[in-house]
């Protein structure tokens, strides 16, 4: 007679039980992190006490007492450090937004040129990409600032483009629009035109889905957008008066002044980032397999619609994620502005304010958390977008 | 009986082969293309002749002071005059052979790693990675019979290379650990690693350098004072480790689950599974990504100007604002750009070649 089968005897000790080991490791890891954190905190406390540095965020309400080269909001020397933070943040965002717009335009043009059947054009685009993405952005900023813009002539001998654009050592002078009589009528007309466009687009789509007939939405929209504001301007008078910079004495008056620091950093970051964007665009377009083009052609589509309806939607799916990470890089690289004295968040807050107040931990923490917040929110947005457009496979 | 004699083949139409054919196909295939060609030629005409005129034809190549330079062309005299400083910084003149020797040892020692025929390449590589840093540190810093050179005297291209190489060498092991931690099944470890990675990836390097220079002294006990260079190195290493971790994670994710299961079925524990089966495959996949990270790091080393270290870029920048050589900023930056470009372009080409070579094994 056979013995009844029993289960294998459990012999392992607690040391080899994976569950217990996992717990032990995690407890150990957390304990190490807490211990290191506490050690640093303790040291910091004693160091701060020893050096007589106050801590806390009360300094944000103290008057700053220094001037700022460029500010998008009203700022005087008597304003608080809190306001300085706001000025710096806005300046950082200004550089970032300008840089993103220009870099995207250059990047897409160069990326498409890279794929051009024209040999010369594609070589030129490759040259652009290879040159600019292999030179440190900081070096490019310094080049534009110190070698080009600082070497500009004084206001009297400005480089002029027509009668309204001037470039000299003090910066770039542009004509500035100011609201005139017809401004509100113009704005209302523009709003009506935009609303009309949206309505037309929706109606056209519904009609196409119902009857299959097409409607020239783009042309209608453009016509609306041009005609209505022009009509408003004719009826109510010119919407803007242009304040053109003019040379009076030793300097220009009127118009917008773009300080050389801003010009240098925008130019350098756009050119640098555009080289990466161009490569992303190229690889995105190449990632759409040739079979797609052939299939579209065999359906009878013409080159324009093929590009618009087949290639670009699929290429965008590949392009957008790395494109956003380039945008993020540009935002982070905008902190290089500090090196040439453009008053961005890092220069103002981690530089001047830190030096004045000595509150290193608070200022650096605030600066870092701003960048962290920007990064995390963009990557959350990105993840959401990625989920939405991801290929739904069977 | 007459036989049929084939006539010789007609030559292809002259317009579709040879130079003419190439030109027609690539530059003048239609009206739009022709217009583009004209535009491109115009652009080249606009840019190339003035640059050559400035950089070569009108340039000044010999001399010792700024008086030897004429106004029209580039003043390469400036670069020649300061080249030693751009390469070595303030490293004592009599000791510069040590820097040369360090570089020579690095190159000669690394050559066998790239010889594919060599047996036991990996063991040699690991041995090299373990021995060389000590040798390099001893040669550069001194001690044990060599005169000690303080890190404040290091500078120029040498310092740039030191920061880049130490940064990547330190970031690799840390980054691999972080990547493993991020893919771990233990929630606490995963959370710690994700937080660490996302924190460093979310902030600009410049703020990290600021932090290392003003906050690190506050974090540590009073009696410990850390060298400025070491502080920068710590900052760069932590920063790069987060990026390396993401690259390595990409490789780990690309390894099929079957590999993990097979390793588990063989009875390998976690570390052996990773060390013997998963990581060798994953790292091989991500070598190009690691080289790209290294290129980014190499460009980022220029940021140490913020905390006042005299790397290649800062040495050149300081030279351009020197009153004796004022007005030659363009020459200085062009030279700096050329040096960085050669390194970065060389590495990116190498990474592309590797990518092609490594790709073959995984083609279906």
List the domain range (segments joined by +) for residue B171. 157-217+226-358
Number of domains present in the structure of chain B: 1
Give the residues across from A63 on adjacent strands.
A80
How does the average pLDDT of chain A come out, rounded? 85
- For B340, which of A134, A332, A354 is closest by C-beta distance? A134
Give the residues across from A243 on adjacent strands.
A176
Task: For chain A, say whether B318 makes contact (Cβ under 8 Å).
Answer: no
At A4, the pLDDT band (50, 70, 90 cuts) reads: low
- For chain A positions 331-350, those within 8 Å of chain B (CB to CB) are 332-333, 335-336, 338-339, 346, 350
Task: Tell me what pLDDT residue A300 has.
Answer: 92
Cβ neighbors of B43 (< 8 A, separation 6 or more) are A124
ipTM computed for the complex:
0.87
Task: For chain A, say whether B336 makes contact (Cβ under 8 Å).
Answer: yes
Task: For chain A, say whether B271 makes contact (Cβ under 8 Å).
Answer: no
Distances (CA, A) of A370 to A54, A380, B104, B200: 23, 15, 45, 13
Domain-located, residue B38: no
How does the average pLDDT of chain B come out, rounded? 86
Cβ neighbors of A102 (< 8 A, separation 6 or more) are A266, A270, A274
Region A164-185 average pLDDT: 80
Tokens of B213: 């220079």
Residue B303: closest CA among B312, B293, B290: B312
Domain-located, residue B331: yes
At A290, the pLDDT band (50, 70, 90 cuts) reads: confident
Q: Find chain B residues with C-beta within 8 A of A350's C-beta.
A: 207, 210
Task: Tell me what pLDDT residue A47 has.
Answer: 83
Nearest CA of chain B to the CA of A300: how many Å? 22
Tokens of B284: 């091989």
Tokens of A152: 């500009």
Task: Tell me what pLDDT residue B362 has.
Answer: 45
Three-state DSSP class for A392?
Answer: coil
- State yes or no: pLDDT of B360 exceeds 70: no
Q: Find chain A residues with C-beta within 8 A of B36's C-beta.
A: 116, 118, 120-121
Domain-located, residue B262: yes
Q: Find chain A residues with C-beta within 8 A of B202's C-beta.
A: 371-372, 375-376
Domain-located, residue B298: yes
What value, to the nearest 5°, has the Cα angle with vertex A307 and ends B16 and A128? Answer: 70
Nearest CA of chain B to the CA of A355: how many Å? 10
In chain A, % of residues over pLDDT 90: 30
CB contact under 8 A, B199 and A372: yes
Q: Which residue has the higher pLDDT, A2 or A154?
A: A154
Domain-located, residue B100: no
Task: For chain A, say whether B129 makes contact (Cβ under 8 Å).
Answer: no
* Residue in chain B lying closest to A365 (CA): B211
Report the CATH number that the domain containing residue B304 is assigned in CATH.
Answer: 1.10.3720.10
The torsion region of residue A241 among left (phi > 0), alpha (psi -120 to 50) and beta comes to beta
Total beta-carbon pairs less than 8 A apart between chain A and chain B = 155
- For chain A positions 109-128, those within 8 Å of chain B (CB to CB) are 116-121, 124
Domain-located, residue B186: yes
CB contact under 8 A, B218 and A376: no
* Residue in chain B lying closest to A131 (CA): B341
Percent of residues in chain A assigned helix, strand, coil, to nearest 5 = 70, 10, 25
CA dihedral over A246, A252, A255, A256, signed as positive or negative: positive
- For chain A positions 212-231, those within 8 Å of chain B (CB to CB) are none
Nearest CA of chain B to the CA of A138: how many Å? 7
Q: Quick: pLDDT tens for A80-107.
A: 888 889 999 999 999 999 999 999 999 9
Task: For chain B, say whether A151 makes contact (Cβ under 8 Å).
Answer: yes
Task: Tell me what pLDDT residue B363 has.
Answer: 45
The torsion region of residue A255 among left (phi > 0), alpha (psi -120 to 50) and beta comes to left
Task: For chain A, say whether B24 makes contact (Cβ under 8 Å).
Answer: no
Region B13-37 average pLDDT: 81
H/E run at residue A185: helix A183-211
Task: For chain A, say whether B225 makes contact (Cβ under 8 Å).
Answer: no
Nearest CA of chain A to the CA of B95: how many Å? 29
Nearest CA of chain B to the CA of A76: how many Å? 26
Task: Tell me what pLDDT residue B176 has.
Answer: 94
Give the whole-angstrom CA distance, residue A115 versus residue A108.
11
Q: Find chain B residues with C-beta within 8 A of A18's C-beta.
A: none
Task: For chain A, say whether B55 makes contact (Cβ under 8 Å).
Answer: no
Task: For chain A, say whether B84 makes contact (Cβ under 8 Å).
Answer: no
Task: Tell me what pLDDT residue B364 has.
Answer: 40
Give the whole-angstrom CA distance, residue A124 versus residue B40.
8
CB contact under 8 A, A33 and B40: no
């Amino acid at each position: 007679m056979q013995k009844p089968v029993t289960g294998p005897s459990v012999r392992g000790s607690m040391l080899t039980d994976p569950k217990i080991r996992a717990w032990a490791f995690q407890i150990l890891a957390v304990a190490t992190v807490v211990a290191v954190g506490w050690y640093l905190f303790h040291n910091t406390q004693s160091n701060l006490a020893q050096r007589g540095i106050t801590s806390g965020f009360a300094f944000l309400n103290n008057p700053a007492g220094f001037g700022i080269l460029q500010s998008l909001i009203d700022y005087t020397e008597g304003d608080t450090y809190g306001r300085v933070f706001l000025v710096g943040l806005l300046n950082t965002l200004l550089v970032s937004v300008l840089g993103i717009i220009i870099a995207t335009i250059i990047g897409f043009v160069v990326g498409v040129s890279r794929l051009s059947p024209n040999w010369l054009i594609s070589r030129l685009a490759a040259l652009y990409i290879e040159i600019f993405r292999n030179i440190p952005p900081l070096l490019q900023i310094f080049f534009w600032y110190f070698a080009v813009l600082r070497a500009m002539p004084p206001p009297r001998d400005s480089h002029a483009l027509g009668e309204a654009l001037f470039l000299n050592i003090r910066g770039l002078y542009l004509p500035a629009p100011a609201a005139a009589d017809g401004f509100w009528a113009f704005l209302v007309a523009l709003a009506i035109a935009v609303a009309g466009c949206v309505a037309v687009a929706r109606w056209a789509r519904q009609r196409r889905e119902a009857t299959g007939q097409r409607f020239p939405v783009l042309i209608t929209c453009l016509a609306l957008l041009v005609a209505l504001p022009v009509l408003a301007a004719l009826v109510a008078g010119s919407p803007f008066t242009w304040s053109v910079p003019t040379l009076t004495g030793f300097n220009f008056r009127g118009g917008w002044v773009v300080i050389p620091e801003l010009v240098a950093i925008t130019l350098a970051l756009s050119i640098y980032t555009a080289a990466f964007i161009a490569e992303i665009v190229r690889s995105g377009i190449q990632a759409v397999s040739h079979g797609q083009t052939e299939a579209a052609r065999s359906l009878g589509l013409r080159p324009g619609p093929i590009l618009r309806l087949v290639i670009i939607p699929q290429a965008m799916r590949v392009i957008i994620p790395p494109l956003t990470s380039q945008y993020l890089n540009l935002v982070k690289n905008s902190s290089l502005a500090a090196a040439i004295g453009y008053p961005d968040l890092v220069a103002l807050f981690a530089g001047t304010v830190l030096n004045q107040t000595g509150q290193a931990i608070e200022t650096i923490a605030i600066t870092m958390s701003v960048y962290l917040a920007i990064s995390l929110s963009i990557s959350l947005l990105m993840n959401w977008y990625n989920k939405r457009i991801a290929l739904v496979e069977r | 009986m007459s036989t049929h004699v084939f006539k010789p083949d007609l030559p292809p139409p002259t317009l579709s082969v040879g130079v003419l054919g190439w030109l027609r196909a690539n530059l003048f295939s239609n009206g739009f293309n022709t217009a583009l060609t004209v535009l491109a030629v115009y652009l080249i005409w606009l840019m190339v002749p003035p640059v050559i005129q400035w950089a070569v034809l009108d340039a000044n190549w010999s001399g010792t002071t700024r008086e030897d330079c004429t106004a029209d062309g580039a003043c390469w005299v400036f670069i020649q005059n300061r080249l030693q400083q751009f390469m070595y910084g303030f490293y004592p003149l009599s000791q510069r052979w040590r820097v040369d020797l360090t570089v020579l040892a690095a190159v000669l020692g690394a050559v066998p790693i790239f010889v594919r025929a060599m047996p036991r390449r990996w063991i040699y590589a690991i041995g090299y990675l373990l021995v060389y840093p000590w040798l390099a540190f001893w040669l550069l810093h001194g001690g044990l019979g060599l005169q000690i050179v303080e890190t404040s005297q290091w500078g120029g291209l040498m310092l740039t290379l030191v920061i880049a190489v130490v940064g990547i060498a330190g970031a690799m092991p840390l980054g691999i650990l972080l990547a493993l931690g991020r893919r771990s099944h233990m929630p606490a470890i995963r959370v710690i690693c994700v937080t660490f990675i996302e924190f460093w990836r979310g902030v600009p390097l410049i703020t990290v350098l600021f932090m290392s220079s003003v906050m690190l002294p506050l974090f540590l006990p009073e009696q410990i004072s850390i060298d400025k260079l070491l502080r920068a190195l710590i900052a760069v290493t932590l920063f790069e480790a987060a990026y390396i971790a993401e690259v390595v994670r990409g490789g780990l994710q690309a390894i099929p689950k079957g590999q993990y299961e097979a390793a588990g079925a063989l009875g390998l524990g976690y570390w052996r599974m990773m060390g013997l089966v998963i990581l060798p495959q994953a790292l091989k996949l991500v070598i190009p990504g690691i080289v790209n990270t290294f290129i980014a790091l190499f460009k980022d080393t220029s940021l140490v100007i913020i905390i006042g270290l005299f790397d290649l870029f800062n040495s050149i920048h300081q030279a351009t604002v020197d009153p004796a050589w004022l007005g030659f900023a363009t020459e200085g930056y062009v030279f700096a750009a050329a040096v960085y470009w050669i390194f970065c372009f060389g590495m990116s080409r190498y990474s592309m070649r590797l990518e092609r070579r490594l790709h073959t094994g995984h083609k279906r």
